[in-house]
Amino acid sequence: MPLFAANVTMLFTEVPMLARPDLAREAGFDGVEVLFPYDNPAKDWQAALAGMPVALINTHPGDWAAGERGFAAVPGMEGVFRSGFLRAAELASQLGAGRVHVMAGVARGPQAEATYVENLSWAAGQAPDLQLTVEPLNPDDMPGYFLNDFDQAARIVDDLALPNLGIQFDLWHAARIHGNADDVWARHKGRVNHVQIAGFPGRNEPGGGGFDLTGLCAELDRTGYSGWVSAEYIPARATVHGLMWLSALKGRARLIGA
């Protein structure tokens, strides 16, 4: 049965950030992921987690309000990217996070791709025991973001052929970019090292939109997937009142695995 993580940046927002891992544990999640855990000291996170596994963190995006979305593909910002990546890798080590999503940033063109490829290769070499993910983000939600297509991501991952680099399959972004998340999954599942789920088209609780989450979980279990399935969605109401999907998926996964 796959392990389920709560994205505590988006879930359990009814309470302060450091109180959310406890709620995730009580709700039945196996771990958490945090988009940007940089506003609190590592020791405070460690106390808040109390042994709760961390599935993934992101590299620091820079000044979000000013439009920055990371730096891996931004020409001229190699130094900023590399210092930020080392910071993320160190924090991942302190929190026990096995994956870091490397944010590409706002950029385009051949020079941006060359910068991206060079930075990804460098990062993978700096942290060989850390799984790195790249995530295509849809241009409506993330205008100008360099990595905005799963086929583009697959080509880059294949060209680099690094053992600790894979694609982060976010069902929401896959559906928004390509129209059919099932097709994206079928083409690229062999490259995926992290999964995120949400409902479509509203990005609320997982389910609907024609995507078979039960089948996905069964396939992950059957193929020996060692990563996480993370819930990254916008709760339609208080998070704890919309978690029927979690108990249903866990229950069905147990039956399939029995």
> Looking at the annotation, which residues are catalytic?
135, 232
- The model carries a pTM of 0.95
Q: Give the mean pLDDT of 81-85.
A: 98
Architecture of domain 3-257: Alpha-Beta Barrel (3.20)
Q: Which of the four pLDDT bands, split at 50, 70 and 90, describes residue 258?
A: very low
pLDDT score at 252: 64
pLDDT score at 254: 54
41-80 pLDDT tens trace: 999 999 999 999 999 999 999 999 999 999 999 999 999 9
166-189 pLDDT tens trace: 999 999 999 999 999 999 999 999
189-220 pLDDT tens trace: 999 999 999 999 999 999 877 789 999 998 99
118-164 pLDDT tens trace: 999 999 999 999 999 999 999 999 999 999 999 999 999 999 999 99
pLDDT score at 235: 97
Residue 226 pLDDT greater than 50, yes or no: yes
pLDDT score at 207: 87
pLDDT score at 69: 98
- If DSSP states are collapsed to H, E and C, what string results for the chain? CCEEEEECCCCCCCCCHHHHHHHHHHHCCCEEEECCCCCCCHHHHHHHHCCCCEEEEECCCCCHHHCCCECCCCCCCHHHHHHHHHHHHHHHHHHCCCEEECCECECCCHHHHHHHHHHHHHHHHHCCCCEEEECCCCCCCCCCECCCCHHHHHHHHHHHCCCCEEEEEEHHHHHHHHCCHHHHHHHHHHHEEEEEECCCCCCCCCCCCCCCHHHHHHHHHHCCCCCEEEECCCCCCCHHHHCHHHHHHHHHHHHHHC
Residue 32 pLDDT greater than 80, yes or no: yes
Q: Which of the four pLDDT bands, split at 50, 70 and 90, describes residue 1?
A: confident
pLDDT score at 136: 98
